[in-house]
Structure formats: C-alpha cells, structure tokens
Amino acid sequence: MAVVHELWVDGQPASQADLTYHALFNYGAFTSFGVEGGAVRGLDLHLARLEASALELFGEGVGEGRLRDLIRSVLADRQEAWLRVSLFSPEVWTREPHWIGAPKVMVGVFTPPAPLAGGVRLQPQVYGREAAHLKHAATFGLLRARRLARQAGFDDALFTGPDGRISEGSLWNIGFWRGGEVVWPQAPMLEGVAQALIQQGLDRAGVKQHVRPVILDDLADLDGAFLCNSATPAAVIAAIGAHQFGGAGDFSRHIEAAWRSNPRQKI
C-alpha cells in the first residue's frame, strides 16, 4: 500500500475535523496522477475533471488557478511524487445534503505506486458503477469486485452489463486491438485521463481507432487487450474469463509510446 506522507486541505495540514468527515462520509470526487520532474502528463485533463466534478456535485467550481496554487504549495520543491486531489465539503451530509458552494480541496502526497504488471487475468463481473462518468469517492463496489476476483483466482475484475457488454475495470480502462487498430468499448464508464492521452498519441501516430460496443462474445475476433490508468499506461491482458490472448506484447509498447508522446505540463 502506498504510504501517505502528508494530507493537506485548502493549503493547510488536514485537521481532525477533516479526517473525521472523510471517515464517516464519501460524498466527493478526486483525481490522481504522478509528478515527474515537477510536471504532469495530462494535467489540463485532470484539472478539467476536478472542475467539472465540483460543478456537478457541489454546484460551484474551485477554479483552475486555485487548484494549481494548492498543488504547488503542497509539492514545494519536490519534483517526484504521486498526488491524489480530492473535493469534499463537511457541509454535505446525510441530513443536510442540499448545500451549494465551492468544495474544499484535499491534496494527499504519496509514494509513487508501481505500475500494474502485465499478463493480467480478468474475471468478468456484471456490475456498473453509480454515476460512472465521475471519478467519485464511493469505492466500495470497486474494492469488493477486486476481492471477489482475487478469491476466484483472477487478478482483477472486468465490468460488463447483463448482456455481456464490456465497460471498464475496477481501477482502469480497457482497450483492444485487431489488425493493428485499436478498439475502445462503448458503454457507461469513467473516461480516464490515461485513455485520453493514449487516444491523442495514437491519433498523432496515425493509428486507427474505433469506439463501439464490445461484448464478451467478441473476444475471439480480437487480437489482444490492454488496461491503462495514470499509474500504468499499458499492461497486457492475458485472459478474460476462459478466453486467452497471446502474442500481443509488441503492440502494448506502441500503446505506452502513444501515452509517453504527450508532453509533461508544468504545474
């Protein structure tokens, strides 16, 4: 588990009241990313995600300038770190859910996590995240899905609809390739920042991409699969359920190269 070095709220060390709220309620949203050389790939997308989430969940934005200021103040002179930037408000709780205003901003500084290893074996599970388009703080379903997958002898869970339509994984997006082209599943899901960066990089490289419904029965017609998130630009998926993929490692390097082709943005 990553070790928390510091937790800051609105530029100050997190108070007992802040931590108590987080222990009791999970209404909020977050984004997380790595800082490399004092800069972040896709920082504009992470900040846009936070601002859109603030507007939807609290009715008022934080502002990109303030988000940048808070992140800079926490980082100080550190050039390498893993950050989780969360939005919350102690004004919103079960008996008083109607408050509208700018949320507080919590920044956690973590030891950078290791990328997920390749050769992942996934257990399909019928599940859909609530408000799937948001990276929200309600993670019970995700952790339960991963636990069930591990208990069944798999590495992680892949979410599908009742009809077998593939959406996303527990902590990542999934993509497929077929004949040198990338296929992204079309379904309710969180559109990840890593996914967006890969799509931009593939466009620049001239690699064709398609977004269409993908169901479990389609797997036999696909050459391979990969997962991606901010900590893991590309990890090869070895199997989904009983279906095994093979010989697709070379293409995953193209996926990671597409992600790396995006410049790091100064905070």
Q: Count of domains in the chain?
A: 2
**152 in the same domain as 103:** no
Give the model confidence (pLDDT) of 105-127 as tens digits.
999 999 888 888 879 999 999 99
User: What integer is the mean pLDDT of 232-241?
Assistant: 95
**8 in the same domain as 74:** yes
Domain boundary among the residues 110, 132, 166 is at: 110
Structure tokens at 115: 């990328």
**147 in the same domain as 97:** no
* Residue-number span of the structural domain to which 241 is assigned: 120-262
Task: Report residue 5's pLDDT band, with 50, 70 and 90 as the boundaries.
Answer: low
Domain boundary among the residues 88, 110, 132 is at: 110
**188 in the same domain as 76:** no
Domain boundary among the residues 87, 110, 133 is at: 110
**176 in the same domain as 98:** no
Q: Is residue 150 part of a domain?
A: yes
Task: Report residue 2's pLDDT band, with 50, 70 and 90 as the boundaries.
Answer: very low
Give the model confidence (pLDDT) of 154-165 as tens digits.
999 999 999 999
Q: Is residue 161 part of a domain?
A: yes
Q: Is residue 170 part of a domain?
A: yes
State the chain's mean pLDDT as an integer: 94
Q: Is residue 115 part of a domain?
A: no
Q: Is residue 267 part of a domain?
A: no
**95 in the same domain as 11:** yes
* Beta pairing class for 29-35 and 156-160: unpaired
Distance CA 108, CA 47 (A): 15
CATH of the domain at 14: 3.30.470.10
Is pLDDT above 90 for 248?
no
Please report where in the chains the tokens 């193209």 appear, as a residue: 254
State residue 118's pLDDT score: 79
Query: What is this structure's pTM?
Result: 0.94
Q: What secondary structure letter does DSSP report for 190?
A: -
**232 in the same domain as 162:** yes
**129 in the same domain as 14:** no
CATH of the domain at 229: 3.20.10.10
**39 in the same domain as 73:** yes
Is pLDDT above 90 for 249?
no
Q: Is residue 226 part of a domain?
A: yes
Q: Are 144 and 151 in contact (CB under 8 A)?
A: no
**235 in the same domain as 185:** yes
Q: Is residue 27 part of a domain?
A: yes
**235 in the same domain as 201:** yes
Beta strand residue intervals within the chain, DSSP E: 4-9, 12-13, 29-35, 39-41, 81-88, 104-110, 120-126, 156-160, 166-169, 173-178, 181-185, 209-212, 224-228, 235-240, 243-244, 264-266
> How are strands ordered across the β-sheet holding 81-88?
12-13, 4-9, 104-110, 81-88, 29-35
**134 in the same domain as 24:** no
